[in-house]
Every structure is written in C-alpha cells, then in structure tokens.
Amino acid sequence: MRTLEVDHVEALDAAARALHAGEVVVVPTDTVYGLAGRLDRPEALERIYLAKGRPDHLHLPVLASSLDQVRGLGVEFSAAAEALSMRWWPGPLTLALGFSPGAGRPTWLDERDEVAVRIPRHDFLLALMRVTGVLAVTSANRHGEPTPSTGTEAGGSLGPHVTLVVDAGPLDVVPSTLVNVRGLGAVVEREGAISRADIDRAVGRSA
C-alpha cells in the first residue's frame, strides 16, 4: 500500500490511475476519510465490501464533482432536494434521491430505487472526480467501527484491499447529514455535520 500526501505532485494522477485500474483508494473528504472506487468496475466495488466487511444489501453512496454529474444519474429533484442542494452543495449533505421516470441512468443503478449522493467541499476530491467521474465513496473504516481520523490509520485498518492512501492529515470524524428526499418530503436519516433543525428551516419546517 502506497501513501502520498494530498499536496504531492503525483497524488492526483496516482489516485486517478489506481481508480481507472479498478483499484480502491483511501481519499480525504470534507468530513471523514473515504474508501473510493469506480462504480463501473465490479472488482473495485467487491474490494470495498471486502475491506469494510460491509453487508451486501447496503448500497454504496456516491460522490460527484458537479450538479451535472448528479443529474447524469437520472435522479429526480423535488423542491426539497433543490432547496437543500442549493444551500449545502458542495458540503456535508448527502441526499437520498429517487429516479426520474423515463430518464436514462447508468447500468449499475438498474436494480436500485434510490441513490445516496453528495458533492463534497474538498478541492482534491472534486479535481479527482472531474477526471474519473462519479465515485463510490464510503467511510474508510470496518463496518460498524469508528472511522479513523488519519489516512494512515484508515488504510491500515482496511487490510490488503487498498492500493493507495491520499493523506491530508487528521480530519474531524463527523459524517455528513443524510436526508431522504425521495418523493415530496425530507426525512433526516442520519444527523451529522448539519443539524436536523437547520434542515427543517431550509425546507420551510418550523424547528
């Protein structure tokens, strides 16, 4: 397993090459360290599940670099989704989105009713996804265990399944807030960096 500092001249190219090859990379995000892989490379997704010990029935969340990349997933934006994404993207907000009827979607989404997606506020990761496209990125920890605050710890805890660690030093181990906006409502499924009260205010509910 190779480790590169996030500002190393080779870090972006090395991460992109590894991901294009179907390998798995630990990357910094604006919340916790993430375990990243290409969604169109089944071997990468398998490595993520093996590294984490993640149950097969739990779908992987998706990170994107732009709203255009998100819309390319064929998702449907309700009024709540529009309000929340305008307020907190890029940022620590994950939206669980349903799909727009008749819209095209990538084949890896064919069997899914919704997809959890966000645009992170992290320059390195945004630059990486402009090269690779959207990525499966989940917290870089064994399933059910705390997420390490450093890239080195995260890589070490995930065994031989990780090829590269991009290290940005210690990160706050606060996850994104997950809001399900499939349909008309906005249901907070995980309160994280953004409070439930702030979500309520953004969608016009009294806190």
Mean pLDDT throughout 72-78? 94
User: Predicted confidence band at 185 (pLDDT cuts at 50, 70, 90)?
Assistant: confident
**Pick from 70-84, 106-120, 193-207: least confident:** 193-207
- In this predicted structure, the answer to whether residue 172 has a pLDDT above a threshold of 90 is no
Query: Strands, DSSP E only, in 73-134?
Result: 93-97, 115-118
Output the six-digit token pair for 21.
């090859």
| DSSP assigned state of 107 | G
Mean pLDDT throughout 18-43? 96
Mean pLDDT throughout 20-48? 96
Give every strand in the sheet of 34-38, ordered side by side. 2-5, 164-167, 25-27, 34-38, 135-139, 62-63, 115-118, 93-97, 177-180, 187-190
User: Predicted confidence band at 183 (pLDDT cuts at 50, 70, 90)?
Assistant: confident
